[in-house]
Amino acid sequence: MKTLVFFGSARKQGNTKNLLNKFLEQLNGEIKVINAYKSKVEPCIDCRYCWENQGCSIKDNMQSIYPLIDEADNIIFASPIYFSGIPAPLKAIIDRCQTFWSSKVRPGEEKLKKKKSVLLLCGGAPSFNKQFAAADIILKSILKELNTELAGHIYVSNTDQVPVSKNKEVVEKAKELSLKINKCSTKG
Ligand SMILES: Cc1cc2nc3c(=O)[nH]c(=O)nc-3n(C[C@H](O)[C@H](O)[C@H](O)COP(=O)(O)O)c2cc1C
């Protein structure tokens, strides 16, 4: 089982990292983490190259990420909430996945293989209505294009007051979700 993680936090030991670590602790198989802040992926320029060609016209680190998406059995997004959405470097990676959307308009193109997905989000503010709504829409829309079925999500509020490392309930949920993914993989 191959798991590809898109990690969107700027902080090395922040809440998102702690949540992700707890999730990954018991996950089986090969795990590859793409740190959005380190990967220096340029934003999409809507040049429409991908309307007729596989891949992308911009030759940067995204080129090595495309095959990882192709091969992955699981796609995980782990991110903080920034102004209701997700941090810009992670959004750049998502927009560069436009080539998967446009595979629909390229003749004779095969779909990506079916995958499972997980969303892990941290918001610093105390819980409020729609705290995660915008990020949820963005991430679910890319997960659909990547042909994934959502296996579960963990959205944590109030991380500025109660860090994930001290939130036993959340840590437990992260472990449970990874065990669920392991089970899915053994079922095939
Ligand atoms: C630019 C910026 C915008 C933010 N906007 C929100 C927000 O809209 N809602 C929210 O709940 N928290 C917001 N936060 C707080 C972060 O989501 C919170 O601190 C989170 O734990 C950061 O993740 P990290 O610990 O992995 O770095 C914002 C933080 C920053 C830096």
Pairing outcome for strands 148-156 and 115-122: parallel
Atom of ligand 1 minimally distant from the CA of 87: 1
pLDDT digits (tens, 9 = 90+) for 144-159: 999 999 999 999 999 9
The domain limits of the chain are 2-187
Pocket of ligand 1 (CB under 6 A): 9, 11, 14-17, 80-84, 122-125, 131, 159-160
At residue 188, the pLDDT reads 57
pLDDT digits (tens, 9 = 90+) for 48-81: 999 999 999 999 999 999 999 999 999 999 999 9
Q: Which of 77, 81, 157, 165 to mutate to test the pocket of ligand 1 (most atoms within 8 A of CB)?
A: 81
Q: Kindly tell me if the per-residue pLDDT of 105 is higher than 90.
A: no
Q: Which of 9, 20, 82 to mutate to test the pocket of ligand 1 (most atoms within 8 A of CB)?
A: 82
Domain 2-187 fold is Rossmann fold (3.40.50)
pTM, full prediction: 0.97
Q: How far apart are CA 44 and CA 102, in angstroms?
A: 13
The pLDDT confidence band at residue 107, using thresholds 50, 70 and 90, is confident
